[in-house]
Amino acid sequence: DIQLTQSPSSLSASVGDRVTITCRARQSINSYLNWYQQKPGQVPKLLIYGASSLQSGVPSRFSGSGSGTDFTLTINSLQPEDFATYYCQQTYSLMSSFGQGTKVEI
Amino acid sequence: QVRLVQSGAEVQKPGASVKVSCKASGDTFSDYYIHWVRQAPGQGLEWMGRINANSGGTNYGLKFHGRVTLTLDTSISTAYMDLSGLKSDDTAVYYCARAKVYQSYGQFDYWGQGTLVTVSS
């Protein structure tokens, strides 16, 4: 399995803040890195695929960057509905894997 | 519209097996992989395996290899996840999700609603 490490594990932020979450892979995964948002009691939702492509319908305040082993999810101007847990996922390997999650709290 | 509808909650005893179904609609079933992901209470997402809905080819996570079996019934656009030798730490919500076979990055664009499996004596 390709291990993904997210940092931080949790963070506190305020509405309007710019938030950055990082995801590091143990080996190069090119751009096969996706980001999901999950709110309590809900199904994960795809935000970013291929490291930097915005999924249809996702607000443009979400953006992704990186390639190889280091990736970033940025939320510009955090909104109340953005408080959630965020997961990175690699699909480079035949066996996919997720990061441990980053909880964004008020 | 695209939907993945999973079977209902299950309660099973330790050592038993559970079979969860995932019925797809709204798109061409054979164009996709169906992946299975689980989430234990208060924990993160854990990838279990995938099945190619066209060829039936499977890949399993190392942790689950030998205990999980993924199958299809293409006549009803349904995928199944069978987990055997249940233990208490298999208590989790189990999700199915789809990824296009020829999609660029294999991302999971639609998910089932989740099935809670509780393992308890």
According to DSSP H, which parts of chain B are helical?
none
| A41 interface with B at CB cutoff 8 Å | no
Instruction: Assess whether pLDDT exceeds 90 at residue A8.
Output: yes
Where residue B65 falls among pLDDT bands split at 50, 70, 90? confident
In chain A, what residues touch B46 (CB-CB under 8 Å)?
Answer: 98
Give the distance from residue B61's alpha carbon to the nearest chain A alpha carbon, in angstroms: 6
In order of A29, A74, A82, the CA distances from A51 in angstroms are 10, 11, 19
- Comparing alpha-carbon positions, the chain B residue that sits nearest to A44 is B111
User: How far, in Å, CA of A80 to CA of A57, rounded?
Assistant: 18
**Out of A1, A36, A101, whose CB is closest to B61?**
A1
A residues 56-85 closer than 8 Å to B (CB): none
Q: pLDDT at residue A94 above 90?
A: yes
Chain B's closest residue to A56, CA to CA, is: B109
Distances (CA, A) of B120 to A12, B16, B67, B92, B93: 36, 10, 18, 12, 15
Query: What is the overall mean pLDDT for chain A?
Result: 97
CB-CB neighbors (< 8 A) of A44 in chain B: 37, 45, 95, 97, 108, 111
Please give the interface size between A and B, counted as residue pairs whose CB atoms are below 8 Å apart. 67
What is the torsional sign of CA B90, A102, B109, A2?
A: negative
Mean pLDDT, rounded, for B93-120 = 94
CA distances from B36 to B20, B53, B97, B101, B107 (A): 10, 13, 6, 15, 13
pLDDT value for A28: 97
- Do the Cβ atoms of A50 and B107 come within 8 Å? yes
Instruction: Say whether pLDDT at B3 is over 80.
Output: yes
What is the pLDDT confidence band of residue B46, given thresholds at 50, 70 and 90?
Answer: very high
Residue B48 has pLDDT above 80, yes or no: yes
**Mean pLDDT, to the nearest integer, of A99-103?**
98
Instruction: State how far the Cα of A77 lies from the Cα of A86, in Å rounded to an integer.
Output: 16
pLDDT in tens, A70-93: 999 999 999 999 999 999 999 999
Residue A55 DSSP label: P
Q: Name the closest residue on chain B to residue A57, using Cα atoms.
A: B109
* Cα atoms in the 13 Å half-sphere on the side-chain side of B102: 4
pLDDT tens for A17-44 read 999 999 999 999 999 999 999 999 999 9
